[in-house]
Structure 1
Amino acid sequence: MGDIDTCAVMFKYPSGLLAMVDTSRDAAYGYDQRVEAFGERGMVSAKNELTSTVELATASGHLTPCAQWSFPQRYAKAYAIELAEFIQMLRAGSESDAHKKEQEMMQRHPRLIRTTVAAELSWHLNRTVRLDEVDGLVATDAVSAEKETIISTAPPQESDLRGAAPSSEEDRVLRTYRDIHRLQTVEGVKAMRAAFRKLDKAVTSIEEMICFLDTVVDESDPDEGLPRSFFAYQLAESMMSAYLLADREKLAFQPKGVPIESLFSAAELRELPAVAQSMYAGKTLATLYPHVEDWSWLPLTALMHDLGKVCMHETFGALPQWSIVGDTFVVGCDFDPANVFAGRDFYSQNPDSKVQGLQGKLGMYSSQCGFDNVLLSFGHNEYLATVLEGHAQDVAESTERPPRTLPREAVYLIRYQSFQPWHSPPQGQARGYAHLASEEDWRMLPLLKALHKSSAGARTTALPPIGEQHAFYGKLLSDYFLTQLRW
C-alpha cells in the first residue's frame, strides 16, 4: 500500500505548545494510537484503549493488557454512528440541511490532512516541515485522501499567464522573466562566467547541496511549492522508471527500447531537418548512444539538475533571481520568438537589442556553430555544469579515481536543460535557434526531450521508503564523487 505503519510526529506551535502523536497498527502490544500535548498552562493526553481493565502488579513490576488490536475493535461505536448518519443523509436527499452540512465538513478535509502531508514530507526530507509549506499542496475539493497526499498540477501555459488580471503568483513569474529578458546581456554573461569559473564559494558534497537547495525559491517557476530536494528525487525516479531497466541493488542500468521518435510530437517530427530525421529513424537510446555502456548517470543527473540554484543564497553570492533562474536564451543575436513571453517584448529594453553587431538572426555567431560556441543567458545550469567540469579536472589530476565518471552527455544535459526554446518550444512555434545548432546538438536533443518529458510528470511520482532511497542514491553518488566538490 505504500503506507507508513509506525511513526511518531512532533508538532511545535508558535505559542510554545508541544504535541506528540504516536501511532502503529502492527506493534507487538496492539494497535497503538496516543496523543499528548503540553504547554505552560497544562497538558492533555489520549491513551490507548486496552482489551481489559485487569492489571497485575508484583515485585517484578506491572503487567497491563494489550491495546485493542484494530479499527473495528477500537472504533466500533464510531463506525455505527457514521453508518447511521450516512443512511440518514440518503433518506433526507441531496437538498436537505444534513447533506449541506456534510458538504461543508468535507470542504474542511484538505485543511485537516495537511498535518499528515507535512509529516510525510518531513520523513522524506529528513527535516522539520512547517505547515505553511504544504498550504496549497492539498486539494480544495472533497476528494479521497489517497489522491490528496500530494496534489500537483502541470506548469501553466504561457497563455495562462497572460490574463487580464494575473494572480500574485502569475505576477511573480512574469516579473521575473521581464527582468531576465531586460538584464541578461553579452557582457554580463561573460562577467558571470568568469566569476563563477573560480569555484571559490564552498567545498562540499552533492548530498549537502541537495539539502541546501531547499533554502532557495525559484520565482520563475509557476509550480514552486514542494521543497526542491523532494522534486529532485521525484525526477530521478521518474527518469529511471521511464527510460531504464534498473537493478537497484547492483546499480546496473540499461536503457529500455524507447523509440527516439516517441520523444517528439508528430508536428515536431515533421519539422525536423533531414540530418535529424535520418539520425533518429529506428533508433532507441541504446542505439543512438552506443558508446554509453553505463547509464547510472541518467537518474543522478536528474537528481542534481537544480543544484546550481544555490547561488541565490548569500553563502554563494546572493545573486538576484533574474541572473540564475528561468528558461535560458542566446545572447548576442535576435531574441527568438520561441522564447517564453517573447510576445511581451521585454527584450526591446535590453541594451544589447540596440547594439549593431548583436542584431540579426546570427548576430555575433556563424550558422550551425553549435551551442557550445554561443553564449546563453547565465543561470544555474551553467554554474552546475562548471562545477562538474571543475570536479572532472580535479579527478584527472588526482591519483584516486572514482569507480564511475560522468559522460559528456550528463554535463550537456545539465548545461542545456533550461534551453526551452530549443528543446521544447511552445506549441505552434518553430524550434528556437535551430540555425545555430550543430550536428552534435541534434544528437543530444533526445536526451533533453527525455528530461523535459519526465519533469512534466515527475510531481506525481511516488518515492521509495526513505531508508532505501538514501541508501540507493548515497551509493550512486559515492561511485561518482569520491571527494567533495568545489563550488
Structure 2
Amino acid sequence: MTILCEHPPAFGVELEEKNNIPVDHDGQENELVLDEGFVVPDTNSFGHTFRDYDIESERQKGVEEFYRTNHINQTYGFVKRMREEYGKLNRVEMSIWECCELLNEFIDESDPDLDEPQIEHLLQTAEAIRKDYPDEDWLHLTGLIHDLGKVLLHPAFGELPQWAVVGDTFPVGCAFDESIVHHKYFTENPDCNNSAYNSKYGVYSEGCGLDRVFMSWGHDDYMYLVAKENKTTLPSAGLFIIRYHSFYTLHRAGAYRHLMNEEDVENLKWLKIFNKYDLYSKSKVRIDVEKVKPYYLSLIEKYFPAKLRW
C-alpha cells in the first residue's frame, strides 16, 4: 500500500526555501541551515566528529568488526529469507509505546556516536524535529518510531545478531557501491563473485523504484514492513524515512540514484531533512519522558492501530 503525502507536488521547493537550503543545478542540497529551535552540536557523545569511522579507539575497532561481519553475511539470499520470515508478523502483538519501552534495553553496537539506550535517541530526534516543524506531526512521530525495528535484538523476536539488525544499509542483488562504509569487506561476500548480482543493475532495472529493491536486512526494513502491513496512515514520506534512514550511501554519497523513481526523488528531500536530526541529536540532552509522552501517545493513536502485529 502506498500512501501519498498530502503536500502539493511543489512542496519540495517550498521546503528548501523554508529551511534556507542552497540547491545546486541538480537540485541537491549543499548545506542545511536548521531553524532556531535546534542547534547542531560540533561533536558526538564521545567528543569526536559525527560518523567518523577512522578514529583509533576501542569502540571504533568494535564498529569495524561489526561491519566486517555485516558485509560478509548480507547476501541477496539472506535478505529474501529474512523478509519472508519476519514479513509474517506473527511473533508479538503490542502497541508502539510498548515497543519504545522494550527497546530501552539495547545499545547499538554499530553506531560510533551513541552510547545511550535507544529511547533517549528516539525522543531527542522527535523533539528536535518538533521544535523546527511544529505543524508536521507525522514527522515528529516518524522521529519517535524510526528505530523501533531494533526490537529484532530481543529474544521474543529471535534475538538476531547486531549485524542483522543495525548499521548502514545498502541494496543487495546488485554491485556494492564503493561509498559504503568499510566497503573492503564485501570481497568476502559470495554475491561479489556472482554475475547475477555484481553488476550496476544486478536483478533490477533503471528507475524501477526503491520499493522494488531488496535492502540489507535490519531494523529499517523490518519497521517499514510492520508499519505498512499494519495499515499506518503515515504519508509515503514517513514510510520512506523509516526504510531508508540508514541508507547513507544514497542520501550522503548519491549512490544508487539510477534505481530511483519520481516518488523516491520527492521523498528523498524529506529524508535529507530528517537525517540531520537523526544524526546530530545524538547528544547528552536529556528528555523528560513523562512530560512528552501524552503528546506522542496522541500521534500514535492518530496514525496507528492500538495494537500492532510484529
| Band the TM-score falls in, shorter-chain normalisation | 0.7 to 0.9
* TM-score, with structure 1 as normaliser: 0.52
* RMSD of aligned alpha carbons: 1.9
Matching of residue 389 in structure 1 with residue 228 in structure 2: yes
1:154-169 alignment runs, 5 A limit: 156=49, 160-162=52-54, 166-169=56-59
Instruction: Give ranges in structure 2 of 5+ residues lacking alignment.
Output: 1-43
2:169 match? 328
CA contact (8 A) 2:129 2:277 kept: yes
2:41 match? none
Deviations 1:294-346 (A, max 9, x none): x311100100011000111111101111111101111111110121122xx10
Q: One-letter code of the match for 1:303?
A: L
Partners in 1 of 2:308 and 2:53 — Cα distance? 38
* TM-score, with structure 2 as normaliser: 0.81
CA contact (8 A) 1:328 1:376 kept: yes
Q: Quick check: which has more Rg, 1 or 2?
A: 1
1:443 match? 266
Q: Which of these residues, 298, 301, 311, is aligned with residue 152 of structure 2?
A: 311
Q: Which of these residues, 458, 473, 480, is aligned with residue 296 of structure 2?
A: 473
Q: One-letter code of the match for 1:168?
A: E
CA contact (8 A) 2:173 2:202 kept: yes
CA contact (8 A) 1:310 1:316 kept: yes
* Residue 482 of structure 1: how far off its partner (Å): 3.9
1:76-87 alignment runs, 5 A limit: none
1:211-360 alignment runs, 5 A limit: 211-242=101-132, 244=133, 246=134, 253=135, 295-342=136-183, 345-360=184-199
CA contact (8 A) 1:334 1:361 kept: yes
Deviations 1:26-64 (A, max 9, x none): xxxxxxxxxxxxxxxxxxxxxxxxxxxxxxxxxxxxxxx
* Residue 208 of structure 1: how far off its partner (Å): 0.9
* Residue 412 of structure 1: how far off its partner (Å): 1.3
2:97 match? 207
For the residue of structure 1 that corresponds to 2:151, the secondary structure is helix
CA contact (8 A) 2:251 2:268 kept: yes
* Residue 155 of structure 1: how far off its partner (Å): 6.5
Count of aligned positions: 267
2:70 match? 180
* Residue 455 of structure 1: how far off its partner (Å): 1.8
CA contact (8 A) 2:174 2:203 kept: yes
Matching of residue 455 in structure 1 with residue 240 in structure 2: no
Q: One-letter code of the match for 1:172?
A: G
Going from structure 1 to structure 2, the CA distance change for 1:154 and 1:379 (only over 3 Å counts) comes to farther
CA contact (8 A) 1:155 1:222 kept: no
Instruction: Give ranges in structure 1 of 5+ residues lacking alignment.
Output: 1-150, 247-252, 254-294, 396-404, 426-430
Q: Which of these residues, 238, 254, 273, is aligned with residue 410 of structure 1?
A: 238
1:434 match? 257
Partners in 2 of 1:437 and 1:168 — Cα distance? 38
CA contact (8 A) 2:113 2:282 kept: no
* Residue 354 of structure 1: how far off its partner (Å): 0.9
4+ runs deviating over 2 angstroms: 151-158, 160-163, 459-468, 478-482
Going from structure 1 to structure 2, the CA distance change for 1:332 and 1:482 (only over 3 Å counts) comes to closer
* Residue 153 of structure 1: how far off its partner (Å): 4.8
Matching of residue 152 in structure 1 with residue 152 in structure 2: no
Matching of residue 485 in structure 1 with residue 295 in structure 2: no
Partners in 1 of 2:104 and 2:290 — Cα distance? 20
* Residue 224 of structure 1: how far off its partner (Å): 2.8
* Residue 241 of structure 1: how far off its partner (Å): 1.6
Going from structure 1 to structure 2, the CA distance change for 1:154 and 1:189 (only over 3 Å counts) comes to farther
CA contact (8 A) 1:184 1:350 kept: yes
Q: One-letter code of the match for 1:458?
A: S
CA contact (8 A) 1:220 1:325 kept: yes
CA contact (8 A) 2:50 2:279 kept: no
Partners in 1 of 2:47 and 2:137 — Cα distance? 27
| Bigger proportion of residues as strand | 1
Partners in 1 of 2:53 and 2:47 — Cα distance? 13
* Residue 463 of structure 1: how far off its partner (Å): 5.8
* Residue 198 of structure 1: how far off its partner (Å): 0.6
1:110 match? none
CA contact (8 A) 1:237 1:463 kept: no
Share of identical aligned residues, percent?
37
CA contact (8 A) 2:174 2:200 kept: yes
Deviations 1:94-120 (A, max 9, x none): xxxxxxxxxxxxxxxxxxxxxxxxxxx
